[in-house]
């Protein structure tokens, strides 16, 4: 198997591109895809301070490493979700990376700040663990970006994530989500940073291979709470189709980006949360409502015990 | 397992409806779904002469049986595709049904009329067998409907077929196809009948169960040419999702029917084919172009032999 670019010994085959690459050309390919994503979608400029949300997995660490390599002013933000050993390993993986790359890292810990981990919180509400986790992470990265003056928040969502999310939105024709699904969400309020997904042109197999070949020590373990989630089913179905017809995920997501204008983006009436001041469409934000739900459930339980 | 309606012994469970039915209530359910499809989508009226395209499989025979039971003036049209033993069995199954139900049946045979079966035709063109077969069938049922004065052509496409076709159109964002995918295609030219799919509310498992319980002797064999076709991959992916979350196919297709107005139906400039007179968007119709391709390939082969 020869490298498509230099004809050297290839280390990876990318069926959807009908290409193979040697190690160095694969690094170039990957970095070029991120540059292309950034330039075409106008994700950020040299002036932007970028907050990279890093879980400690392959995607977020690959993203942080690439952005640092491109000279982007990219700080890491790790949100410790309080999922026992898994969260300890995640934080350790992020700390190691920051130390090795001499990168600036911010850490916030849900258990320290709110007294409970994500599973404990979710179990006291009607949300699934993944739904509560997503809500908490979005709230916290917006909050940190605002407090620390970051104009852009970057997440490690890759093509598999975006295609799976899109498939879910299409299977249930969630028009609001379809209207705003994009690799870039512009800032719609002075208190909200722009959200970008610079890895949307790359698959998870590619970011994993990048980390391995670069010697980035990422956490291989999957979050224990994700098992059985619908997003995994969507990924499974897409993997089946991708195997039969390489390029299916790319076609689904990139085709959508061309057509997405047909879906109306939702009209948002943004306010500031009466409780915490963060941006919301309601009187209080979803995060504060989640905490209220937990508090009231806990109160009821305590009263029952008394 | 109790029947949802009469509390008798159920014979079938429909997970997507969270229901079970006994034999008689299942027959009612199925017939009601066809009546609902017909009424809601204004498929045909008592005055219409309906040409049912019958392959000899579960869907088309179930459809024909239900329409006859509802008192619709429904004639069968069987297109013998010239696929050796499979086509012989298909025709036999249709003939048996027509005899048992004392129903009017028209038969057209591609090999008799054009000297070649569908596989032979496809192999001399750039089309896959399924693509050539679809084109030939559409051409022939339109032609027969026009010649014999049928105002409506009904096909046995079920929810699995429609959802799989929709998934394929979404995966590749085929806007033209999305714009015209519907259980009813109105007549857009005096030479074209209305096309309807009265089984779009029912799954293939339901039509198979209906035939078995009704004692309709359908051909169980799958067409030998369909193996490896993309539509089978789409069905496989949807079956996976349906198994994890019953109702996924329904949600995909029925959600689409509500939203489909966002996709522009293609503007068609219809003419009559210079060669055969059938309706087309080009100078000659796709069927005549297919035959020309076969003829020119055959001529070249003969010249080479000479």
- CATH number of the domain that residue B86 is part of: 3.40.50.620
Interface test with B, best of A230, A237, A238, A259 (most B CBs within 10 A): A237
Q: Mind listing the pLDDT tens digit for each residue in B55-95? A: 999 999 999 999 999 999 999 999 999 998 999 999 999 99
Q: How confident is the model at residue A261 (pLDDT cuts 50, 70, 90)?
A: confident
CA distance B186 to B151: 10
pLDDT at A301: 66
Residue B284 token pair: 């000659």
Q: How confident is the model at residue A177 (pLDDT cuts 50, 70, 90)?
A: very high
Interface test with B, best of A166, A170, A171, A247 (most B CBs within 10 A): A171
Tell me, yes or no, whether B243 and B301 share the same domain: no
Residue A303 token pair: 């009263």
Tell me, yes or no, whether B211 and B287 share the same domain: no
| In a domain? residue B14 | no
CA distance B271 to B290: 18
How many independent structural domains does chain A possess?
2
Residues constituting chain B: 306
DSSP-derived 3-state class of residue A60? helix
CB contact at 8 A, B175 and B263: yes
Tell me, yes or no, whether A243 and A290 share the same domain: no
| In a domain? residue A234 | yes
3-state helix, strand, coil in chain A (%, to 5): 55, 10, 35
Q: How confident is the model at residue A264 (pLDDT cuts 50, 70, 90)?
A: confident
Q: How confident is the model at residue B265 (pLDDT cuts 50, 70, 90)?
A: confident
Average pLDDT over residues A60-85: 97
Tell me, yes or no, whether A200 and A282 share the same domain: no
Is residue B151 left, alpha or beta, with left meaning phi > 0 and alpha meaning psi from -120 to 50?
Answer: alpha
Tell me, yes or no, whether A305 and A242 share the same domain: no
Residues of chain A contacting residue B251, judged by C-beta atoms under 8 Å apart = 171-173
| In a domain? residue B18 | no
pLDDT greater at residue A212 or residue B267: A212
Q: Which of A137-151, A222-236, A272-286, B162-176 has the lowest mean pLDDT?
A: A222-236
Average pLDDT over residues B145-155: 98
DSSP-derived 3-state class of residue B12? strand
CA distance A45 to B202: 53
ipTM of the complex: 0.90
Tell me, yes or no, whether B99 and B217 share the same domain: yes
Q: Mind listing the pLDDT tens digit for each residue in A7-45? A: 999 999 999 999 999 999 999 999 999 999 999 999 999
Q: How confident is the model at residue A305 (pLDDT cuts 50, 70, 90)?
A: low
Tell me, yes or no, whether B169 and B226 share the same domain: yes
CA distance A151 to A139: 15
CA distance A229 to A276: 30
Question: What chain A residue is nearest to B256 in terms of C-alpha separation?
Answer: A173
Residues of chain A contacting residue B259, judged by C-beta atoms under 8 Å apart = 173, 175
Please determine, for residue B261, whether its predicted confidence score (pLDDT) is greater than 90: no
DSSP-derived 3-state class of residue B196? strand
Tell me, yes or no, whether A240 and A284 share the same domain: no
Reported for A113-122, long-range contacts at CB under 8 A and 24+ positions apart, including other chains, are A114/A291, A116/A82, A116/A294, A117/A81, A117/A82, A117/A83, A117/A84, A117/A87, A118/A81, A118/A82, A118/A83, A118/A225, A119/A82, A119/A83, A119/A225, A120/A82, A121/A290, A121/A291, A121/A294
Rounded alpha-carbon distances, angstroms, from residue A295 to A299, B97, B184: 6, 67, 53
What is the span of the domain harbouring residue B285? Answer: 269-306
Please determine, for residue A270, whether its predicted confidence score (pLDDT) is greater than 70: yes
pLDDT at A110: 94
Q: Closest Cα partner for A41 from A143, A154, A148, A150?
A: A154
Rounded alpha-carbon distances, angstroms, from residue A227 to A86, A91, A130, A214, B17: 14, 21, 10, 28, 26
| In a domain? residue A14 | no
Tell me, yes or no, whether B151 and B229 share the same domain: yes
Percent of chain B with pLDDT over 90: 87
Tell me, yes or no, whether A78 and A37 share the same domain: yes
Question: What chain A residue is nearest to B248 in terms of C-alpha separation?
Answer: A171
| In a domain? residue B128 | yes
Rounded alpha-carbon distances, angstroms, from residue B13 to B9, B16, B21: 11, 9, 7
Q: What is the DSSP string of B112-146?
A: HHHSS-HHHHHHTSSS-HHHHHHHHHHHHHHHHHH
pLDDT greater at residue A175 or residue A80: A80
Residue A249 C-alpha, separation from nearest chain B C-alpha, in angstroms: 8
Please determine, for residue B23, whether its predicted confidence score (pLDDT) is greater than 80: yes
Please determine, for residue A303, whether its predicted confidence score (pLDDT) is greater than 70: no
Residues of chain B contacting residue A255, judged by C-beta atoms under 8 Å apart = 171-173
Average pLDDT over residues B14-20: 95
| In a domain? residue A201 | yes
CB contact at 8 A, B48 and B75: no
| In a domain? residue A21 | no
Tell me, yes or no, whether B283 and B160 share the same domain: no
Tell me, yes or no, whether B236 and B273 share the same domain: no
Q: How confident is the model at residue A245 (pLDDT cuts 50, 70, 90)?
A: very high
Mean pLDDT, chain B, as a whole number? Answer: 94
Average pLDDT over residues A213-239: 93
Looking at the partner chain, which of A175, A240, A251 has a beta carbon nearest the beta carbon of B240? Answer: A240
Residue A148 token pair: 């620390």
CA distance A105 to A51: 9
pLDDT at B226: 85
Exposure string of A140-153, with b = 16+ CB inside 10 Å and e = fewer, is: bbbbbbbeeebbbb
Looking at the partner chain, which of A172, A238, A256 has a beta carbon nearest the beta carbon of B255? Answer: A172
Percent of chain A with pLDDT over 90: 87
CA distance B261 to A66: 42
Average pLDDT over residues B230-253: 96
Exposure string of B214-244, with b = 16+ CB inside 10 Å and e = fewer, is: bebebbeeebebeeeebeebbbebbbbbbee
- Most confident segment among A94-103, A227-236, A296-305: A94-103
Please determine, for residue B205, whether its predicted confidence score (pLDDT) is greater than 80: yes
Q: How confident is the model at residue B132 (pLDDT cuts 50, 70, 90)?
A: very high
Kindly tell me the sign of the dihedral angle through the C-alpha atoms of B199, B202, B204, B210.
negative
Is residue B128 left, alpha or beta, with left meaning phi > 0 and alpha meaning psi from -120 to 50?
Answer: beta
Interface test with A, best of B162, B166, B167, B173 (most A CBs within 10 A): B173
CA distance B154 to B77: 10
Residue A158 C-alpha, separation from nearest chain B C-alpha, in angstroms: 17
| In a domain? residue A1 | no
């Amino acid at each position: 198997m020869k490298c498509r670019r230099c004809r050297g010994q290839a280390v990876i085959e990318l069926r959807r591109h009908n290409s193979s690459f040697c190690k160095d050309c694969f690094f170039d390919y990957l970095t070029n895809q991120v540059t292309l994503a950034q330039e075409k979608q106008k994700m950020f400029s040299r002036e932007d301070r970028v907050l990279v949300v890093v879980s400690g997995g392959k995607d977020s660490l690959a993203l942080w490493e690439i952005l640092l390599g491109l000279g982007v002013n990219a700080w890491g933000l790790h949100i410790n979700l309080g999922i026992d050993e898994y969260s300890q390993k995640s934080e350790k993986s992020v700390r190691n990376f920051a130390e090795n790359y001499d990168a600036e890292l911010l850490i916030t810990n849900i258990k320290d700040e709110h007294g409970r981990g994500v599973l404990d919180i979710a179990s006291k509400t009607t949300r699934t663990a993944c739904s509560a986790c997503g809500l908490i992470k979005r709230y916290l990265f917006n909050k940190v970006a605002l407090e620390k003056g970051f104009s852009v928040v970057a997440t490690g969502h890759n093509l598999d994530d975006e295609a799976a999310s899109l498939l879910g939105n299409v299977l249930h024709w969630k028009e609001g989500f379809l209207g705003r699904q994009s690799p870039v969400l512009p800032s719609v309020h002075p208190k909200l940073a722009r959200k970008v997904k610079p890895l949307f042109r790359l698959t998870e197999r590619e970011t994993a291979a990048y980390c391995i070949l670069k010697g980035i020590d990422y956490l291989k373990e999957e979050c224990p709470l994700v098992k059985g989630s619908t997003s995994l089913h969507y990924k499974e179905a897409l993997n089946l189709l991708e195997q039969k017809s390489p390029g299916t995920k790319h076609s689904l997501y990139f085709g959508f980006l061309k057509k997405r204008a047909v879906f109306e983006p939702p009209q948002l009436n943004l306010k500031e949360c009466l409780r915490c001041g963060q941006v919301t469409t309601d009187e209080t934000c979803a995060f504060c409502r989640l905490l209220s739900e937990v508090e009231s459930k806990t109160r009821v339980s305590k009263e029952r015990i008394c």
